[in-house]
Amino acid sequence: MTSQVQALRAADGATLDLASVAATLADQFTVVTRPSQLIRRVRLDTFDRRLHAAELTLEHQVAGSQERLVLDGPACSSTVTVPATEPRWPVLAAGLPDGPIRTALAPVIGIRALLVVSDEKRRVRRLELHNEDDKTVARVQLDEPATATAAPPQLTVLALRGYEDLAGRALRLLTRAGLRQVDHREAHAADVQPTAGIVATSPAIELLAAQLGEFLAAMRDNLPGLLDDVDTEFLHDFRVAVRRTRSTLKLGRLALPEVMHRRWEPAFKWLGDLTTPVRDLDIYELDLPVMTTWLVAAEATDLDELAQHLRRRRSSARRAMVQGLRSARFRRLMAGWHDTLTRLAEGSQDLTGEQLSAGVLAQRSIRRAYRRVARDGAAISPESPAEHLHELRKRCKELRYALEVFAPVIENGPRKRAVADLKSLQDVLGRFQDCEVQRLALRDFAEEMMADGTPASAVLAMGELIGHLDVEQDRARERFDGAFAGFTRPSGRQRMQRLGGGR
């Protein structure tokens, strides 16, 4: 079992040469050169790189007739290898072979699918370092591209558990011979932020164009996975980007040209609406396992009919959505929007609004959004209908987006705390609203299912769910006053006023 890995590179300009590495190590070890192997390495991760963030790497390796999955990385106590034959990607956690890799990965990837992020043919040559008993005590591996386009060669020293000191000794021999250790972080250069260089005095339009460009990129990135139905989060993230676009257009009205309001706000509303039904149904499918645990009188299997009904509804909703996303209208929207953003970013003459600085627009927007939340929230009484709480939830989202969109030009400390304050309130409102929507929808489903001749047991089980949602909704409602008071408490208000430019 490998426990530690240290990557090395040649001194500037020099090439890595395994023969001279072996000669260096022969000083203190018996060096055995293994035959070189051609390995196809298929690197896997979720679309949002959850494995990378958790310092794990997962590879499907094919060497000759041998296929295996290898889980490794600094966060792994030891390399885990499992034989795997022709796994199909993308795959959800449940689709991985049963065993240690699935156990280790399931909590990390959650509901996301594993996809191929790179697929390279490599030539791997290994040296085994033996002691006097001819026991392998460390390994050195040279991993070279077998094709011109692949990543550059890499030399690594692999330590074995219980023999780490000997890997250390090998490492010292190699560094003394002129090789350089690669810092783990150095391997991954930081992404360049598109909003880099934008400050409070920059024109507001510059910040808005940069952010809108980011959201468009997110929509495009998520589109293929969404169309292929790889996992539920492609649609979710696509919708977040659409919602952020809509909020930014709204927040930016003062600084943006009129056409943005007239043409693009309705266009993105259409796109949002197009994707809503599938998302709503996704939420049920994701929640169903938890909902099953709510049942008291009914059996878990009584919900099978509901699950089937949801799947049928979802596939027809998906057909409609996919049709919309493959339509000329959608293509025109994406192309036209790209074009508009390009011209906006270039400061095109026909696309100007009021000359405002990013800082001023940020202050105005945050101030305004905060006032609305405070005003609407204060007006909520025990008699307020659910609709009013729903409206308040939307106001909160606007404030949240304002705090996000203008993040590059406002103070980060107070901003983060303001978001945290807001989040508790949003959680309560979100739970309240979700219960409301799910309760009503379950009623509709029950009617549809009864019309289809579903057995009573299924409908009764759904009744239990509705009862549970009702209680939870009341509970969320009870927590509202406390959450709102927490949000409007003096320290929070002061913070918000500071972000909103005083007073």
The residue ranges that bind another protein (CB under 8 A) are: 1-3, 68-69, 77-83, 97, 99-101, 133-136, 160-163
How many CB atoms neighbour CB 403 within 10 A?
A: 23
Minimum Å distance from CB 72 to another protein? 11
Minimum Å distance from CB 81 to another protein? 5
Phi, psi of 154 (to 5 degrees): -140, 135
- Distance, in Å, from the CA atom of 212 to the CA atom of 244, rounded to the nearest integer, reads 8
Minimum Å distance from CB 106 to another protein? 14
1/286 with CB nearer another protein: 1
77/412 with CB nearer another protein: 77
Q: Which DSSP symbol is given to 316?
A: H
131/175 with CB nearer another protein: 131
1/38 with CB nearer another protein: 1
- Distance, in Å, from the CA atom of 172 to the CA atom of 178, rounded to the nearest integer, reads 10
Minimum Å distance from CB 74 to another protein? 16
Please state, in angstroms and as integers, the Cα–Cα distance from residue 74 to each residue in 37, 126, 150, 172, following that order.
Answer: 25, 21, 23, 20
Structure-block tokens of residue 238: 């696509």
98/383 with CB nearer another protein: 98
Buried/exposed 363-372: b ≥16 CB within 10 Å, e otherwise: bbbbbebbeb
Rounded to a whole number of angstroms, the distance between the first and last alpha carbons of the chain is 63
Structure-block tokens of residue 74: 């600094």
Minimum Å distance from CB 280 to another protein? 39
Minimum Å distance from CB 1 to another protein? 5
132/191 with CB nearer another protein: 132
Q: Which amino acid, one-letter code, is at 50?
A: R
Reference 175, options 26, 18, 21; nearest CA is: 21
143/302 with CB nearer another protein: 143
Secondary structure (H, E, C), 410-479: CCHHHHHHHHHHHHHHHHHHHHHHHHHHHHHHHHHHHHHHHHCCCCHHHHHHHHHHHHHHHHHHHHHHHH
Minimum Å distance from CB 502 to another protein? 54
* DSSP state letters, 67-101: EEEEEESTT-SS-EEEE--S--SSB-GGGSPTTHH
Reference 473, options 447, 498, 438, 449; nearest CA is: 438
160/356 with CB nearer another protein: 160
Minimum Å distance from CB 18 to another protein? 20
